Amino acid sequence: MLNFKKQQKLCLIIFSCTFVFFFASCRPHPVEILIKKSERKYLMGTHVQLDICVDKTESEENIAAAFAKAWERLEDISWRMNIFDERSDPSALNNSFDAPVTVGADTYYVINQSLYYTKLTGGAFDITILPLLQFWKEMARTAHVPEETQVQRVKKSVGSKNIRLLENNQIERLNTQTKIDLGGIAKGYAIDEAARIFKEFNIDNMFIDAGGDIYAGGVNCQKKPWRIGIRHPLDINKLIDVIEITNMAVTTSGNYAQYFELNKNKLSHIINPVTGYPQQYVVSATVIAPTAMAADALSTAMCVLGHPKGTGIIDQLGKDYASLIITYDETHGDVKLFSRDYSKYQVSSGK
């Protein structure tokens, strides 16, 4: 299984109209609802839920074939992009140095896209972060506060300059200490692939949730846009916001669930690749984007960059991107920091 625990995602909630938004059932002329079909498996270190909404005339054979092909693709990605599986592409790359390694075309694509997000975020998102993650985990295990020179020594192996993409799906490491981890982007890619497969079977209404990484396609079974509740990062029983999306993805990253504990201090498991230290101040970051891969990578970067730098990047990407960053301190409590276009996805009391 692909282990994504280093990039913990906050679970998002999909609402049922009949439970939360009960007023929809009071309409004088109810809309004929679609039929919901669901399947669930444990993959990629989390529970993956596939929901589709189809017309009653939809062929059961077509539905079964779509689910089967989607799961086949998800299972393939879950081991081939997993650093803990010796057969995987990242493992092959991490265990080689003298010669380029040939990886799968999709792995090559994901790594290439990762380098794009590294450049876009000024290094805040970086798949070569693994040496720093391992370093801080060891510091926490031994209760050792590292010196600046130790951090900087490890940081030399981190950065896109240390890997090179060649032709024919070949990649090489330029530093023997550099290692990659696709945990911050591969799950988003896997969700996008599942969505693509459903669309190949002419199933456009879907809700794919992989432990908080979500893609919501088309409409829900009440033929309305998908409504998603964002949990409060410090209180799982409380919602901090509700959004409404269609044909979009949303992911929340944060340090609320996983962290390093060093000398009784809780340190974020999200490491800033630029400084080499655990990120501070941002409790969670939610990103809405056209693809789950983009939302996955950018939500991690927003935790590192915070506001206004991270929010500025989201604004520059255009109207199909939005973000919500949550910070917390004892003086101000929760502070919500919105991107320019976030409000158009919020569900107001009047909707």
In 125-169, the DSSP E strands lie at 163-165
Mean pLDDT confidence for 8-20: 43
User: What confidence score (pLDDT) does residue 256 get?
Assistant: 54
Per-residue b/e over 43-63, b at no fewer than 16 CB within 10 Å? bbbbebbbbbbbeeebeeeeb
Which of the two residues, 261 and 153, has the higher pLDDT score?
153
* Structure confidence at residue 350 as a pLDDT band (50, 70, 90): very low
pLDDT tens for 291-315 read 999 999 999 999 999 999 999 999 9
User: What confidence score (pLDDT) does residue 49 get?
Assistant: 98
Q: Is residue 215 scored above 90 in pLDDT? A: yes
Q: Is residue 102 scored above 90 in pLDDT? A: yes
Helix (H) or strand (E) run with residue 119 in it: helix 105-120
SS3 169: coil
User: What confidence score (pLDDT) does residue 275 get?
Assistant: 95
pTM score, whole prediction? 0.89
pLDDT tens for 70-101 read 999 999 999 999 999 999 999 999 998 778 99
User: What confidence score (pLDDT) does residue 27 get?
Assistant: 47
User: What confidence score (pLDDT) does residue 87 get?
Assistant: 94
Q: Positive or negative CA dihedral for 309, 311, 316, 317? A: positive
Q: Is residue 46 scored above 70 in pLDDT? A: yes
Which of the two residues, 146 and 8, has the higher pLDDT score?
146
Which domains does the chain possess? 1-351 (3.10.520.10)
* Structure confidence at residue 1 as a pLDDT band (50, 70, 90): very low
Q: Is residue 245 scored above 90 in pLDDT? A: yes
